[in-house]
Structure 1
Amino acid sequence: MIAYRKLFRVSKQSPERELLVERAARAAADFGAAAGAVDEQARAVLGINPTDASILAVLYEREQLTAGEAAAAIRLSPAATSTAIQRLVAAGHLTRTPDPADRRRAVLVLTEATRTLLAAIYEPIGDEGTALLADYTDDELRVVTRFLERGRALQLAHADRVRALR
């Protein structure tokens, strides 16, 4: 991964404004890198790759999915998703069970051991992060939320742009 801080370009503004914008941009990049460091360590603990981690993350959030829903959620081809699911089942992270609504389909469910491990990894971060946010005013939270939502949309749009370079 390229160091984002070398890519920051601040338009001509007052020197104070340029420093503030650069500081905010660096803080956002550093935040993303720190979250990436946690995810990297979580993948090491779980013995999985980033694609597998994406599937586990979606399942942790949604409880159960079909393979097709998992593929759509992580924006991966059905074939690649099927391969990842096979790895995760073999590693003991997922089970396939009959869909209660349609017995012809299977749904993916996290094993209890994996759900417990994911909770041990990520729930303390969520709890402490929520406590940090409680220190902000309502107006500050609106700004933080707007920035993060817009930043996420920007990152996903650029992920699509970069994907098209293949």
Structure 2
Amino acid sequence: MAFRQRDLFGGAIIFRISSECIDVSDLRQVPDHQEVFVYPDSQISIIVEILERVTQDDDQEATKFHFDSLAHDNSATSSSIKSVTEIANNRGDETPSPIVLKGIQLVRKFNSTVLDTIYILLAVFRVKSKNVDLVLSMNIPLETPDDDIDDVKYEQAQRNFETAVESLRIIDFDLFV
């Protein structure tokens, strides 16, 4: 899988993702606080969004809050967290170390009677000085009425997420003013 650098929010943030990912803003309007990418041959999506910092001081609890909020927004009938870990930023820049959560949500899409099983990968970069939580999420539909993801695509998506998280760098903190 080939990766390429993408500029987010006018270049204030950069990260690397699969070169096959499509910038959704080329297809439709995306809210100003979001950057959205999709794979051309699946329902996998990557979203980076700038959110107001949640009140939880504990970074893992804040990350769980964002996961629960996403479950609510997705109208998930159930959700479960598999793991929560911190990945140290050892690059020497000022980008906060992300807290990474992996979980599952069961979601009924498009009024379907069958639940979709969605693997959620979530990384939260807490920019405390600017009162911001930068949230990078990936939605990987594992089982849907239309399609089940194969092991190769699943592993590629996970690698893409890991590359995006490890390479995400905040260049201009004035973005958060």
Whose Rg is larger? 1
TM-score relative to the length of structure 2:
0.31
Which of the pair is proportionally richer in helix? Answer: 1
Higher relative contact order (CA 8 A, sep 6+): 2
Q: TM-score, normalised by structure 1?
A: 0.32
